[in-house]
Structure 1
Amino acid sequence: MARYHIETYGCTSNRGESRSIESALRDAGHYRVDGPKEADVSILNSCTVVEKTERNMLRRAEELDEQTADLIVTGCMALAQSEEFQQADIDAQVLHWDDVPEAVTNGECPTPGPGTEPVLDGVVGILPIARGCMSNCSYCITKQATGRIDSPSVEENVEKARALVHAGAKELRVTGQDTGVYGWDEGERKLPELLDRICDIDGEFRVRVGMANPGGVHGIREELADVFARNEKLYDFLHAPVQSGSDEVLAEMRRQHRVDKFLDIVETFDDTLDHWTLSTDFIVGFPTETEADHEQSMALFREVRPEKVNVTRFSKRPGTDAAEMKGLGGQTKKDRSKAMSELKHEVVAEAYEELIGTTREVLVVEEGTGDSVKCRDSAYRQIIVQNADEHGLEPGDFAEVEVTSHQTVYAFGTPV
């Protein structure tokens, strides 16, 4: 029996991997402790999405190496850049996610049974539906860690979702490196079927679909939009990262879509749903991005007006083709990032301003700061309710709230 400490960095999918590791460790009789100094083994589930993150991971690995008897490093940086930990003279086992439980159990492979209690994060259930993707983006290092898409069956994922709901999940987060290509390894487009089946599970809960690249969504856009329209349990929310408004830059990025396909998706969802939230990502300062390319991205942003946006400055990732390109100056990237971030705040604030005075049904998802709770409406917009104890609200509750004000990227509401 081992005492373990685990830290997770990066995306929701990584968090799902950590929960799978923890479930296997508990089944094998191990238990979690509060910090690395009390642990027999520490597990660092790493991220490597940008260079700054990479530096943070190495620094944290060095700290854990000093504080615990044994260190295991897993996750995207471990799988894509294992040599970085060796070069930093960090004494750690660098392992794939699936190999972590066996390493902790000294070769005894745990075999969780079907009755294993699901792992929840409060009332949020994380459901990774597949690992890997079908893309080959020139700038992405994560693909080196995750490989091509590997999709469990629809039935297997539905059973995992059912177990989470029966265990108390009120919000299911369907995750993966690219949920839109779920099933492609078997020659099928299975995401719409999977979402329908999950929504058929008995119980009152909501479902959020995680990141889905436009290249995968485009071919199922009409079917997928119809699934959203007929299932009230689905948040009307789609995260489709466009990355650039320039077809030339998208080609250099080796993205599997062009701007017209992204616009097709937006138009289809606009035509099918009354209210929905578009979430997208932009990379600014890609090595081949000209000022004209940047202006095309800004123009696309203004046209589609996404309510949730991630703006990332390009950084070279080792071992990727884009790392060999001659980069842009740091000031250029900074200026373009600032311009897009200012536009982001303008657009998002406008969307939340329009909510003021409306009444929304919300799900209380988690506790906030002080005596407040964080809620989500049907389009996954965040609404904060203050004085939660006074209103008798806690995570897992559904409520009607009137939106009273906003703070750019979230709103405030009062129960009615």
Structure 2
Amino acid sequence: MARYHIETYGCTSNRGESREIERRLRDAGHRRVDGVDEADVAILNTCTVVEKTERNMLRRAEELADETADLYITGCMALAQGEEFRDADVEGEVLHWDEVPDAVTNGECPTTTPDAEPVLDGVIGILPIARGCMSNCSYCITKFATGRVDSPPVEENVEKARALVHAGAKEIRITGQDTGVYGWDNGERKLPELLERICTEVEGDFRVRVGMANPGGVHGIREELADVFAEYDEIYNFLHAPVQSGSDDVLEHMRRQHRVEQYLDIVETFDEKLDEWTLSTDFIVGYPTETDEDHEMSMALLRETRPEKVNVTRFSKRPGTDAADLKGLGGTKKKERSKAMSELKREVVAEAYESMVGETRSVLVTEEGTADSVKCYDEAYRQVIVQNASEHGVEPGDFLDVEVTGHQTVYAFGKPV
């Protein structure tokens, strides 16, 4: 659980992207602080409108790098002139804004606080179904804050979902440290039952997105879970199962509760039972024991399973964790591996969105974007941007059909039909 400091420069678009970064960090349990001296992580969202601005951005990046352990640089200058920061030897990582929240989380589980309650954010209802996890990953500091999984009864979570829909939620985001182990503290595997009861007992037009579920927990319920996904249109055909490495040796060192074969079993089961679905996963690159061969195994697994959403995170030591005592690989090697995997990721994800062009998709509008656009999601939770939304009379909460007209690597563009 990190304390972050964020600074945003430039246009309305940058400010909107910073808001999205903050929302995702908040959902993962991270906390904003006002001063960089109090922060574990600093985020600099840059502008590059004139040369003077560029000089200011470089100077501010250098100052932030000196004042915090981890600096992430995003925004226009970072993406258009990232080499400027490297040439200036700024100790920071240049990322697309959409990659920043995943980098900050360091591959850890999201952190649900003891008093977590459902939250309605526009038409998005956030429903924490449990607190804690059943894992003991060597790199994760979250476990110190959350402990073992504590699952409220199914009836209680169904009632919370009903209240969210009654309050105006059109999308319910089921969250937790590890949604796949919901009910394990009571000796039961309750996630499929919870999803089925939300779909059958809550009245209204809404969609359900299942949050992060580690492969170790999903493997034992994969058949039942895929069946529920297939039966109920309310559930997005989307599964976030973070594999973290394609090497069983590294997974063992990480103390992950799954191996590559179990992850592949999950993918195979969902492929068999669903005509179309989105696999989301995470990789940690540069774990201290990761060899070149281990890294290539991760690359090969990415190529084989072709997840349509991939979070690539460079390993970063967290105080008090066992992995923090291991000798690191060095920044250069981690950067090289991260770059190689990120390039492959963009290739795989772009291929998925390219395949949508020309198709008609049914989508739910979930929130406003920038410059009179809205963000929508199709049945497989692929993001579709509708531009000039006011001209089309489209707003958050609407269900509509769109023709996919183009894409930009990690999302598509659509026009209402």
Give yes or no for TM over 0.5.
yes
Offset at 1:370? 1.2
1:288-308 Cα offsets, whole Å, 9 max, x none, are 000000000000000000000
- Select the structure of larger CA radius of gyration: 1
SS in 2 for 1:195: helix
Contact 2:113–2:146 (CA<8 Å) still a contact in 1? no
Q: Structure 1: which 5+ runs fail to align?
A: 1-6, 18-43, 61-95, 101-111, 113-117
Offset at 1:275? 0.4
Offset at 1:390? 1.0
What amino acid is the match of 1:334?
Answer: K
In structure 1, the residue matched to 2:209 is: 208
Separation in 2, partners of 1:210, 1:372: 25
Separation in 2, partners of 1:409, 1:189: 33
What amino acid is the match of 2:42?
Answer: N
Offset at 1:98? 4.7
1:252-310 Cα offsets, whole Å, 9 max, x none, are 00000000000000000000000000000000000000000000000000000000000
- Is 2:193 the counterpart of 1:193? yes
Contact 2:366–2:374 (CA<8 Å) still a contact in 1? yes
Contact 1:124–1:170 (CA<8 Å) still a contact in 2? yes
Contact 2:171–2:366 (CA<8 Å) still a contact in 1? yes
Contact 2:119–2:127 (CA<8 Å) still a contact in 1? no
Separation in 2, partners of 1:293, 1:392: 51
Separation in 2, partners of 1:376, 1:131: 27
1:229-244 correspondence to structure 2 within 5 Å:
229-244=230-245
In structure 1, the residue matched to 2:228 is: 227
Contact 2:113–2:131 (CA<8 Å) still a contact in 1? no
SS in 2 for 1:208: strand
Offset at 1:8? 11
In structure 1, the residue matched to 2:184 is: 184
Separation in 2, partners of 1:208, 1:9: 19
What amino acid is the match of 1:130?
Answer: A
What amino acid is the match of 1:258?
Answer: R
Contact 1:16–1:126 (CA<8 Å) still a contact in 2? no
What amino acid is the match of 1:259?
Answer: V
Identical columns (%): 75
Separation in 1, partners of 2:288, 2:28: 33
In structure 2, the residue matched to 1:85 is: none
- Is 2:384 the counterpart of 1:398? no
What amino acid is the match of 1:317?
Answer: R
1:367-413 Cα offsets, whole Å, 9 max, x none, are 01111110000000000001111111000000000000000000000
What amino acid is the match of 1:237?
Answer: F
SS in 2 for 1:365: strand
Q: Paired residue for 2:27, among 11, 15, 18? A: 15
Separation in 2, partners of 1:238, 1:308: 10
In structure 1, the residue matched to 2:97 is: none
1:163-182 correspondence to structure 2 within 5 Å:
163-182=163-182
Contact 1:8–1:45 (CA<8 Å) still a contact in 2? no
1:194-215 Cα offsets, whole Å, 9 max, x none, are 0001111111000000000000
- Residues 13, 206 of structure 1: alpha-carbon distance in 2 compared, 3 angstrom cutoff: farther
Offset at 1:56? 3.5
Offset at 1:15? 3.3
SS in 2 for 1:234: coil
- Residues 243, 365 of structure 1: alpha-carbon distance in 2 compared, 3 angstrom cutoff: same
SS in 1 for 2:320: coil
- Is 2:255 the counterpart of 1:254? yes
Q: Paired residue for 1:56, among 42, 50, 54? A: 42
SS in 2 for 1:204: coil
- Residues 272, 371 of structure 1: alpha-carbon distance in 2 compared, 3 angstrom cutoff: same
TM-score normalised according to structure 1 size: 0.75
1:90-125 Cα offsets, whole Å, 9 max, x none, are xxxxxx95579xxxxxxxxxxx9xxxxx64100000
1:207-262 Cα offsets, whole Å, 9 max, x none, are 00000000000000000000000000000000000000000000000000000000
Separation in 1, partners of 2:22, 2:391: 35
Output the aligned Cα RMSD.
2.5
Q: Structure 2: which 5+ runs fail to align?
A: 1-18, 44-63, 69-111
Offset at 1:55? 3.5
SS in 1 for 2:381: coil
Separation in 2, partners of 1:126, 1:300: 31
Offset at 1:11? 7.7
In structure 1, the residue matched to 2:291 is: 290
In structure 1, the residue matched to 2:7 is: none
Contact 2:114–2:131 (CA<8 Å) still a contact in 1? no
In structure 2, the residue matched to 1:132 is: 132
In structure 1, the residue matched to 2:54 is: none
- Residues 9, 98 of structure 1: alpha-carbon distance in 2 compared, 3 angstrom cutoff: farther
Contact 1:358–1:402 (CA<8 Å) still a contact in 2? yes
Contact 2:183–2:190 (CA<8 Å) still a contact in 1? yes
What amino acid is the match of 1:54?
Answer: D
Contact 1:9–1:45 (CA<8 Å) still a contact in 2? no
Separation in 1, partners of 2:137, 2:39: 19
Contact 1:192–1:223 (CA<8 Å) still a contact in 2? yes
In structure 2, the residue matched to 1:123 is: 123
